[in-house]
Amino acid sequence: QWIYLDGSFVTKEEAKVSVYDHGFLYGDGIFEGIRIYGGNIFKCKEHLDRLYDSAKSIMLNIPLSFQEMQDALVETIRRNELRDGYIRLVVSRGPGDLGLDPRRSPKASVIIIVEQLSIYPEEAYINGLKTVSVSSRRNIPDAVNPKIKSLNYLNNILVKIQSNLAGVGEAIMLNSQGYVAEGSSDNIFIVKRGVVFTPPCYIGALEGITRAAIIEICERKGYTLKEEPFTLHDVYVADEVFFTGTAAEVIAVREVDGRTIGEGKAGPITTNLLQEFRSIVTVDGVK
């Protein structure tokens, strides 16, 4: 396995960063998780747009141009001879001193790791996941803006701990006002009487690339899609609930906090959206 580290390709054992790196000391940096399907980098431009927007927002100077970054992704995949897998692209503030000041970290570090991926078994896409709501609240703008895909994932880790304790794979995070925000690393959708709902991102959700792809598919397939705030009550009484994310794709939920959702398995709209999603993954992106 070859890892891209600041312009060089190194082995997993050689891929080390400084203990003074502010990504390590303060979670100061940004990242992307991207999928490769059949040699195609799915939604490459969208992921890089989000990365460069996140960087601009936190005044992090990425030492590669957009095109150079895309070339680095392609080259890392080629070296690893991978046609299907997962890319983790990290840009950290880089090594500095022990203070917070980012001006003391003049050179950002760029890391690209590609790996095989298996997250949920195929059975889970048919039968759905059990999930719970948790007490950790999603950051709202000004804490760590949810639009910035930053390395500050402590909230999400707390959600993961709570979902581990509950014995489930993903959980539902609310915002500080009690509206449903998203999962620990996925966006959330519900379906009620044929209408598809997802929370608007300003409520405290990442602008997920998979979320955007699903919104686009809904428009194309003629499903009514509403970006509207909703509560746990709406989730409990929904006909269908599903999560979307780069790793999870479109995964149905069969139970939330002990309440069975719909028929207790992936519903028809969720199943249809997953099929449509899987039909575009090998074409919509960069070869």
Residues 90-129 that bind ligand PMP (CB under 6 A): none
Beta-strand pair 2-5/8-11: antiparallel
| Stretch of residues binding ligand PMP (CB under 6 A), selected from 3-11, 53-61, 239-247, 257-265 | 239-247
Nearer to ligand PMP, 105 or 184 (CB): 184
In whole angstroms, the minimum distance from the beta carbon of 33 to ligand PMP comes to 5
Using CA atoms, how far apart are residues 188 and 193, in angstroms rounded to an integer? 17
Residue 226's closest CA among 191, 197, 192, 200? Answer: 197
Which residues, other chains included, contact 90 with Cβ-Cβ below 8 Å and sequence gap of 6+? 23, 29, 30, 31, 109, 110, 111, 112, 113, 151
Closer CB to ligand PMP, residue 95 or residue 146?
A: 146
Q: Does 186 bind ligand PMP (CB under 6 A)?
A: yes
Tokens 């040699």 sit at which residue? 39
For ligand PMP, how many residues bind (rule: CB under 6 A)? 14
Query: Which structure tokens are listed for 6?
Result: 């600041």
149 to 178: interface string for ligand PMP, x by CB under 6 A? -------x----------------------
Does residue 33 interact with ligand PMP by CB under 6 A?
Answer: yes
Beta carbons within 8 Å of 176's beta carbon, 6+ residues apart: 137, 138, 140, 204
Piece of the chain touching ligand PMP by CB under 6 A; list 100-108, 111-119, 185-193, 224-232: 185-193
Q: Could you tell me the CA-to-CA distances from 165 to 160, 171, 241, 252, 261 in Å, in that order? A: 9, 11, 22, 21, 21
Task: Give the pair of three-digit tokens for residue 9.
Answer: 């390709």
Among 144, 206, 235, 241, binds ligand PMP (CB under 6 A): 206
Catalytic hit among 43, 130, 149, 160: 149
Per-residue CA distances from 39 to 22, 108, 177, 250 (Å): 33, 28, 43, 20
Looking at beta carbons only, is 92 or 185 nearer to ligand PMP?
A: 185
Residues 243-282 that bind ligand PMP (CB under 6 A): 244-246
Instruction: Check residue 211 for interaction with ligand PMP (CB under 6 A).
Output: yes
Q: What span, in angstroms and rounded, lies between the C-alpha atoms of 130 and 172?
A: 11
The answer to whether 149 is a known catalytic residue is yes
Of 10 and 201, nearer to ligand PMP (C-beta) is 201
Torsion of CA 38, 124, 164, 27, to 10 degrees: 20
Q: In what order do the strands lie in the sheet with 8-11?
A: 8-11, 2-5, 109-115, 85-92, 29-37, 40-42, 285-286
Residue 223 three-state SS: coil
Q: Applying CB under 6 A, does 240 fall inside the site for ligand PMP?
A: no
Rule CB under 6 A: say whether 187 interacts with ligand PMP.
Answer: yes
Interface with ligand PMP (CB under 6 A), residue from 28, 182, 240, 284: 182
Residue of the chain from 110, 190, 209, 238 that contacts ligand PMP (CB under 6 A): 209
Residue numbers annotated as active site:
149
Q: What residues line the site for ligand PMP (CB under 6 A)?
A: 33, 156, 182, 185-187, 206, 208-211, 244-246
